[in-house]
Amino acid sequence: MAGKCLFLTEDKKPVNLENHYKGASCFLVLSGPSLQTLDLSLLKKPGVLTFGVNNSPRMVRPNIWTLVDDSGNFMMSIWKDPTILKLVPDGKPKQRLFDNMRWKRSRSKVRDCPNVVYHPRNNRFNPETYLTEDTINWGSHKDHGGTRSVMLAAVKLAYYLGIRKLFLVGCDFGMTLGEQNYAWEQDRTKHAVNNNNSTYRVLNERFSLLRPKFEEAGFYVFNCTENSGLKVFPHMNYEDAIKIARRDFFHIDEERTHGMYERKALEKEAKKKEEKRKKREQGKGKK
């Protein structure tokens, strides 16, 4: 996959993040109401990498975050948080943010925020090149069949960053007019509900085409959402996915730190003592 550097600063300086999370497992946190049924505190455990989209940081503060729509649609606390790596489509540095505390347009722009890098994107979905092209695909423009989604962008970004097991949470993939369709209160019109359900149908088709490509590349996606409308990827129990992500961190409380600074000197001293002992033994043997 090596080639053109995908991420750039605002002034076009390259930021090489390819395989930055080499071989990692990661939870892609989407926005479905099923998030409310999970013990989200598990996502804060050591060793658990999280990737949020849109306003899902309302529920889980992620390590990585991305968007595709207008920057002003998303919480100010995401933009201002220096601990979140924000992967932003190029062309957005000058977009104004929205102050959702004071409920007015902010003077701040994307370019004023910390820990932001930019990437190019394309508007023509091609399952044959999705993983290897040097831009981020988020679906197709209406001239090429239509339907775009932040989820397509996030999955490709995860792969580029070196993540090789991706666990989906909040992936309900179905909306019903008049019911709660997000993990927080959010109104949706009939038109919006219909559009979202149409997008879910198309994404099922596109991920069906992509799954064999993913697995050929050693990239595996698991759906941890019960009764999800996304049927392409195998289901995995949420707690089991947490165990996989934390495989090397189960015994973190048992890690020893005492003596680590002195370790090499002590090992060297012990080696000298052992050499002296062997010499004495050899001397005795010659007598």
What CA–CA distances, in Å, run from 28 to 56, 170, 236?
A: 10, 9, 14
Give the pair of three-digit tokens for residue 251. 């015994």
173 near 229, Cβ under 8 Å? yes
- What is the C-alpha separation between 121 and 185, in angstroms, rounded? 31
3-class DSSP state of 252: helix
What pLDDT is recorded for position 282? 82
CA angle 53, 75, 55 (to 5 degrees): 30
What pLDDT is recorded for position 5? 84
Write b or e for each residue in 253-262: b if 16 or more Cβ atoms lie within 10 A of its Cβ, otherwise e: eeeeeeeeee
What pLDDT is recorded for position 233? 98
pTM of the model: 0.92
Low-confidence ranges of the chain (pLDDT < 70): 1-3, 285-287
3-class DSSP state of 96: strand
Query: Tens digits of per-residue pLDDT, 94-150?
Result: 999 999 999 999 999 999 999 999 999 999 999 999 999 999 999 999 999 999 999
What pLDDT is recorded for position 235? 98
Q: Other C-beta atoms within 10 Å of 279: how many?
A: 10
What pLDDT is recorded for position 2? 47
